[in-house]
Amino acid sequence: MIPTLQPEDEVLVDPRAYVQDAPQVNDLVVARRPDRQEVTMVKRVTAVLADGYVLVEGDNPAASTDSHVFGPLPPQNLIGKVTSRFG
Q: Is residue 67 within a helix (H) or strand (E), and if so which, with residue range? A: helix 67-70
Give the per-residue pLDDT at 78. Answer: 97
List pLDDT tens digits, range 23-48. 999 999 999 999 899 999 999 999 99
Tell me which residue range forms the domain holding 43: 10-86
How would you write the pLDDT of the chain (87 residues) with one tens digit per residue? 456 788 888 999 999 999 999 999 999 999 999 989 999 999 999 999 989 999 999 988 888 899 999 999 999 999 999 999 887
Domain count, the chain: 1
| 5/18 Cα distance (integer angstroms) | 22
Residue 49 lies in a domain: yes
Q: Measuring CA to CA, how many Å separate 66 from each of 3, 40, 71, 75, 86?
A: 14, 12, 8, 15, 23
Residue 50 lies in a domain: yes
- On whether the pTM is more than 0.85, the answer is yes
Q: Identify the CATH number of the domain in which residue 41 sits.
A: 2.10.109.10
| 15/34 Cα distance (integer angstroms) | 18
**What is the torsional sign of CA 14, 86, 28, 6?**
negative
Residue 18 lies in a domain: yes
